Chains A and B, each alone.
Chain A
Amino acid sequence: MKIAVCVKQVPDTWAEKKLKDGSGILDRESVEGVMNELDEYAVEEALKITEADGGGEVVVVSMGPERAGEAVRKALSMGADSGIHLVDDGLVGSDSVATSYALAKVLDGRGFDLIIFGSESTDARMSVVPAMVAERLGLAQLTFANKVEVAGGNVTIDRVTDNGLETITAATPAVVSVVEKINEPRYPSFKGIMAAKKKPVETLSVGDAGIDAGQVGIGAAWSKVDSFAARPPKAAGVVVQDEGNGGVAIADFLSAQKII
């Protein structure tokens, strides 16, 4: 079983995120970066599948600036075997359509049985890249899994939808995305961190990966930011101490707002 796990370096959840003047793309330099939290679950699930399988290979794949190498190292320190880092100034400002194109170029033809993603990145929060990569590679998509089973050349997932529960099955190879309820990601051990330093990471440029430079980056974006602004500050609300009539006070407020 050969598994690719796609990870993304994102601004720390607690950091104040900003868009850049002019381009309207995310300012990634001014904030601390971390591996996207959801991707830790994807790495953990890949490791669990290969461990249960009694062997295999987990390759961590990341597209992003130099610093995204930290996310690759983190996945390696958790136990992934090797890494691929797609890094090129020509990729800056790529939107989801371009990102899926670039990732598909890197993933295609490497013989992966499964390609696993976290269900969303905590910065863009679109949850569209796994479906786009599946579309581009002509693979089955099994997304938002809270349980994954691999047996006899098939992958089966359980997931929660807006309407209830679903089970989805497909033959491998397939694209899977996982939600955070699926497992408890391991912390990298000291030994794992030391071992990660020696694991191979293949660094690819746009040219190395056979990507058409005209299809990626801010110039090629299929959608563009016209303008952006900080949300107008909200007028301070009223906060009262409950002195026995707190519930009535809320009801009065809701009545005044014509909600009840």
Chain B
Amino acid sequence: MAEVLVLVEAADGAVKKVTTELLTLARTVGEPSAVWIGPGYSDAVAATLGEFGAAKVYVADGAQYVDHPVAPKAEVLAKLVADVSPAAVIIASSAEGKEIGARLAVRTNSGIITDAVGLSADLVATQSIFGGSTVVQSKVSSGTPIITIRPNSTGPEPAAGAAVRSDVSVDLSPAATLATITGRAAAAKGGRPELTEAAIVVSGGRGVGAAEGFGVIEALADALGAAVGASRAATDAGWYPHTFQVGQTGKTVSPQLYIANGISGAIQHRAGMQTSKMIVAVNKDAEAPMFELADFGVVGDLFVVLPQLTEEVNKRKG
């Protein structure tokens, strides 16, 4: 069966959920080989990759691959593409993932499709574009198909793989090390899932009214085990950090459930969340366009509705 390379994303030494989704999708195309780039490869990582079907794991161990942004990872993948001629390279559609794919496409003279939400056995990628209004089927027509896939595009399904380790080493080109990451600060986590990966996102917008207003949003998010998002109006006003902005110039999310609170539903926001599987809206304004998208909506005061919902969620969980 054809080999399919899957670039592993990890945080704090653990494989991210999106990688298990990518391995699941890769199995419909061929036999997945995971690619780990950087220090910190561990038995726990190998176990997770094997659990989701990685037959092989290529390990490029070394700080030099992660001290410089993007280019070293593209060069490692380019070497593997040359060595093993994979059927495709599959990467998570994160900001970094897309750029790694971009440089790999240039290096290997290959086509790239980004932000896919589905992938067929014959490598036809499904994309949802123009804020979700149009569904496109595309295929790479030249070189090795490089496809970046959004988190939550499929449910991770285990299937045993041997996860046989194979070490790779690449002499990086001088150009790959021109830019150096000189400082890193981990984001304050607070125990919530990462926004782009979360199965549930609870978001607040202009209607939240103030930074303190996000208390009710966070309480509901924590009851549901959800991530917190915010509209541009809320982040521009300084009520919530812009890392959490959902929309055209922020993050694109596609969770199982998106709860939009006090968000009117301007096109810029919709572009970042319209492909959510289910949408619930709470807004004082019955005319808010967000209600057109909502599977369920409540016209009312979010400061009344959300605490009641939070209490109800906690009650039913127990």
Chain A contact residues, CB within 8 Å of chain B = 13-14, 16-19, 24, 37-38, 95-97, 100, 119-120, 122, 125-132, 134-136, 138-144, 156, 160-171, 174, 179-181, 221-231, 234, 237-242, 245-251, 253-255, 257, 259-260
Contact = CB atoms under 8 A, between A and B. Distances in A.
26 contacts: A96-B102, A96-B112, A97-B106, A130-B99, A131-B102, A135-B71, A139-B175, A140-B179, A141-B99, A142-B179, A160-B242, A161-B95, A165-B184, A168-B180, A169-B182, A221-B111, A222-B142, A223-B113, A229-B135, A231-B128, A237-B279, A237-B294, A239-B281, A250-B298, A251-B313, A260-B316
Given A127-B114, A223-B140, A239-B281, 8 more contacts: A140-B178, A156-B182, A162-B11, A169-B179, A181-B242, A237-B291, A241-B300, A246-B305
Contacts of A143: 69-70, 95, 99
B309 interface: yes
Nearest to B185: A165
A183 to B, nearest CB: 13
B95 A162 contact: yes
B305 A174 contact: no
B105 A97 contact: yes
Contacts of A231: 128, 132-135
B112 A242 contact: no
B304 A242 contact: yes
Contact of B313 (A120, A237, A260): A260
Interface residues of B, number: 92
B242 A171 contact: no
Contact of B107 (A135, A168, A227): A135
A17 B130 contact: yes
Contacts of B316: 251, 255, 260
Contact of A250 (B11, B69, B280): B280
B85 interface: no
Interface in B176-190: 178-187
B299 interface: yes
B114 A126 contact: yes
A244 to B, nearest CB: 8
A195 B200 CA distance: 51
B69 A168 contact: yes
A97 B111 CA distance: 7
B56 interface: no
Contacts of A222: 105, 109-112, 140-143
A223 B307 contact: no
Contacts of A166: 69, 181, 183-185
B101 interface: yes
Nearest to B251: A162
Contact of A170 (B128, B135, B179): B179
Contact of A237 (B95, B109, B115, B296): B296
Contacts of B295: 237-238, 253
Interface of B: 11, 69-71, 74, 94-96, 98-99, 101-103, 105-107, 109-115, 124, 128-130, 132-143, 175, 178-187, 194, 196, 200, 224, 242-243, 248-249, 252, 256-257, 267-268, 271, 278-282, 286, 291, 293-301, 304-313, 316-317
Contacts of B139: 223-224, 226
Contacts of A128: 98-99, 101-102, 105, 112, 114
A251 B309 contact: yes
A240 B109 CA distance: 54
A253 B248 CA distance: 29
B307 A247 contact: yes
Nearest to B138: A225
Contacts of B69: 141-143, 166, 168
A132 B95 contact: no
A245 B304 CA distance: 9
B188 to A, nearest CB: 9
A229 B127 CA distance: 11
A246 B278 CA distance: 18
A168 B181 contact: yes
A37 B268 CA distance: 12
Contacts of B249: 37-38, 119-120, 122, 179-180
B176 to A, nearest CB: 9
A13 B71 contact: no
Contacts of B267: 13-14
B136 A228 contact: yes
Contacts of B113: 223
A24 B296 contact: no
Contacts of B306: 247
Contacts of A181: 242
B280 to A, nearest CB: 6
A181 B243 CA distance: 11
B256 A259 contact: yes
Given A120-B249, A128-B114, A170 B308 contact: no
Most chain A CB within a 10 A radius of its CB, from B102, B178, B181, B286: B102
Given A165-B187, A226-B138, A247 B312 contact: yes
Which 5 residue pairs across A and B have the least CB separation, nearest first? A242-B300, A247-B308, A222-B111, A167-B183, A140-B178
